[in-house]
């Protein structure tokens, strides 16, 4: 069988399988991310069947998936919203960082994975899944609740923190010195500050240049600029994902809404491939030995996220049930945690056990997070025998 023929068959099976898994996830009301990871585990190194012919395509597709994920994340916010959120919620951001970065970092050090492992696993446990949180809040009809702006502010701050964290991680994984890491932080902060300034000052011009009434032209310009900015950011030792995120921030108004609409199907396809590729690169046999540590980490960081949301909501004057809802909405981890681990795996700078922990951890948290968001408040009410009250506090 020819090489091209085999590639087409394997790709067809992968995309068909992803479609079936996505449909299954929708039927049972959960994020498809854990199922995509399971699919990658089944057809990668050590899985049931190894798909080796699509490695080159899947690698490029996964890189595009990261760019589109971060681009669309940036499209959800304006530069003014980010600046305002940063001023108003920075204390909650500090609490979030301290409570949720440290558990992953400490576990990595306990298991002997060194400073790089601590930096990677700390980032994995720190960042909540904006996509899963937003979907669950929408499905539960909580977007109008008083605690929801608190949740969204924390998610925005985490996204901004990633703009500084990812360049540092990339630099460290490349073997740079501590001074190089500090330079990466400076470059990242400078890039973020410059883009926020340009977006506020010239955002309308940037938006007008990208916009086009023809959908085909608009899509080509948008993807072209996104990939170009991502590539240039990578060349300047700033993460390509961060470059795409900052571009999304600069686009606003009706153009941003149109961009979300036309990019959504492409984002879903390439992002799904990204999750599959991470699973393909993880040996399923490496997961059982680290499963106990993964569960311990999951329980601990679920508690720290609830504590983060509780504290932030209390600072905003929200009642205890609203605090509990805010905390439980932050539990899920997903796309960004895999982005972090994917960078580390691609660099070859981490041990296989760490990749296994991240895979199992994201699957665990992506499933339990939405369940906790939906049932935490009713369960605690029943245990404490409290009446159904305070619906939107």
Domain locations along the chain: 63-272+284-384
Q: How far apart are CA 129 and CA 249, in angstroms?
A: 18
7 confidence band (pLDDT: 50, 70, 90): confident
pLDDT at 297 > cutoff 90: yes
H or E, element range at 342: helix 335-347
393 confidence band (pLDDT: 50, 70, 90): very low
Most confident stretch, 124-133, 241-250, 307-316, 364-373? 307-316
Average pLDDT, the chain: 81
Least confident segment among 190-199, 216-225, 267-276? 190-199
- State the average pLDDT over residues 361-389: 79
pLDDT score of 239: 64
pLDDT at 392 > cutoff 60: no
Least confident segment among 136-140, 214-218, 225-229, 254-258? 136-140
Token pair 């492992």: residue:
117
User: Looking at the chain, how many residues does it have?
Assistant: 393
- State the average pLDDT over residues 338-365: 82
> Residue 303, class by beta-carbon neighbours within 10 Å (0-12 exposed, 13-18 middle, 19+ buried)?
middle
pLDDT score of 104: 95
* Cα separation of the two ends of the chain: 63
pLDDT at 247 > cutoff 70: yes
Query: pLDDT tens-digit profile of 73-87?
Result: 778 767 666 666 667
The helix/strand/coil state of 375 is helix
Domain 63-272+284-384 has CATH 3.40.50.720: no
Q: How far apart are CA 126 and CA 160, in angstroms?
A: 13
pLDDT score of 391: 47
């Amino acid at each position: 069988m020819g090489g091209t023929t085999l590639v087409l068959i394997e790709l067809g099976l992968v995309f068909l399988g992803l479609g079936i898994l996505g449909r299954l996830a929708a039927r049972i009301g959960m994020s498809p991310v854990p199922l995509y990871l399971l699919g990658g585990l089944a057809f990668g190194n050590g899985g049931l069947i190894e798909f080796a012919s699509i490695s080159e395509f899947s690698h490029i597709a996964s890189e595009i998936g990261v760019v589109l994920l971060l681009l669309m994340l940036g499209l959800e916010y304006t530069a003014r919203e980010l600046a305002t959120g940063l001023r108003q919620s920075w204390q909650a951001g500090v609490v979030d960082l301290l409570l949720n970065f440290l558990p992953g970092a400490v576990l990595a050090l306990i298991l002997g994975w060194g400073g790089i492992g601590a930096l990677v696993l700390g980032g994995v446990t720190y960042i909540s899944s904006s996509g899963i949180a937003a979907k669950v809040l929408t499905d539960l009809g909580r977007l109008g609740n008083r605690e929801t702006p608190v949740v969204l502010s924390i998610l925005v701050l985490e996204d901004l923190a990633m703009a500084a964290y990812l360049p540092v991680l990339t630099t460290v994984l490349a073997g740079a010195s501590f001074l190089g890491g500090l330079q990466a932080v400076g470059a990242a902060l400078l890039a973020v500050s410059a883009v926020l300034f340009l977006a506020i000052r010239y955002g309308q011009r940037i938006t007008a240049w990208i916009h086009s009434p023809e959908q085909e032209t608009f899509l080509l310009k948008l993807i072209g600029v996104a990939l170009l900015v991502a590539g240039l950011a990578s060349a300047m030792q700033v993460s390509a994902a961060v470059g795409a995120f900052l571009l999304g921030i600069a686009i606003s108004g009706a153009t941003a809404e149109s961009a979300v609409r036309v990019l959504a199907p492409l984002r879903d396809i390439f992002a799904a491939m990204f999750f599959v590729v991470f699973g393909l690169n993880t040996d399923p046999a490496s997961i059982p030995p680290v499963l106990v540590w993964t569960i311990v980490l999951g329980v601990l960081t679920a508690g720290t996220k609830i504590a983060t949301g509780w504290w932030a909501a209390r600072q905003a004057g929200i009642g205890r049930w609203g605090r509990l809802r805010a905390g439980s909405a932050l539990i899920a981890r997903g796309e960004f945690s895999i982005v972090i681990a994917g960078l580390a795996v691609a660099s070859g700078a981490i041990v296989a056990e760490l990749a296994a922990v991240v895979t199992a951890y994201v699957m665990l948290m992506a499933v339990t997070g939405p369940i906790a968001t939906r049932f935490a408040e009713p369960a605690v009410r029943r245990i404490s025998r409290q009446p159904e009250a305070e619906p939107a506090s």
